[in-house]
Amino acid sequence: MSERRILITGASDGIGKALALELAKRGYHLALTARRIDKLTELKLDIEQRFPQIKVEVAAMDVGELACVEPTIRGLSKALGGLDIVMANAGIAYAGKFGESPLEKHIEVIHTNVSGAMATLDAALKLFREQGYGHLVGTSSVAAYRGFPRNAAYCASKAALSTFMEALRAETHKENIDITVLHPGYIDTEINRAVPSRPFLIYVDKGASVIADLIEKKVARSTVPVFPWNLVAPILKQLPTAIVARL
């Protein structure tokens, strides 16, 4: 099997960290970014100890600092000798009722989850067009299917990312570039541990394994886990507002 190289943003914890470990186990070389270089360095050492054959490159990067994204991604690509997959995974959440909580918090969610992802995908797409192939992956959410109270910006940001990547699939239809958008449900990570109810919860290691499988299959889109969210998520769009308001 030829060497496979993936860049993952937001890799210092949560899904990104678990996926880095899962893909290292599968033989992927890794380029990992996050805001916290200390956490990335710990992860790099852990992976290198467990999987000595795996190359791991890390860089501090805040996807919200848009001007830094492309130079960082190009530097990591050069360090690994190219990239086969780039996963726009970095994201944040903020829970608060709109109009009663700080506007800047909601805008920060939109900026990180949408503008930051777009900057990541833009840099990756330019690289892939230069080399003639590549695979873009975006971490959306089942929250993209419906706007929920106290999470308006987060839901909107994930809906925007999902729609954006569908447009990218159409724009790259005749190119040797694959587009995958994933919609995780409740995977046990810090971002959702304060949520009172987490239906169909799975552990992060299981979530990472499912995500790795879906990436390797180059699926166009999928919920994570596939079942039961593949049935439940579309139903969310049909729920009466009176029910959603109580959630």
Q: Looking at the annotation, which residues are catalytic?
A: 154
Beta bridge partners of 88: 138
Q: What would the DSSP string read from start to end of 164-230? A: HHHHHHHHTTTTTEEEEEEEE--BSSGGGTT-S--TT-B-HHHHHHHHHHHHHHT-SEEEESSTTHH
* Calpha distance 113→134 (Å, rounded): 22
Q: Which of 69, 67, 48, 51 is nearest to 59 (CA)?
A: 69
Contact call for residues 71 and 79 (beta carbons, < 8 A): no
Structure tokens at 56: 């791991």
* Cis check: omega of the bond before 199, within 30 degrees of 0: no
| 28 membership: H or E segment, kind and range | strand 28-34
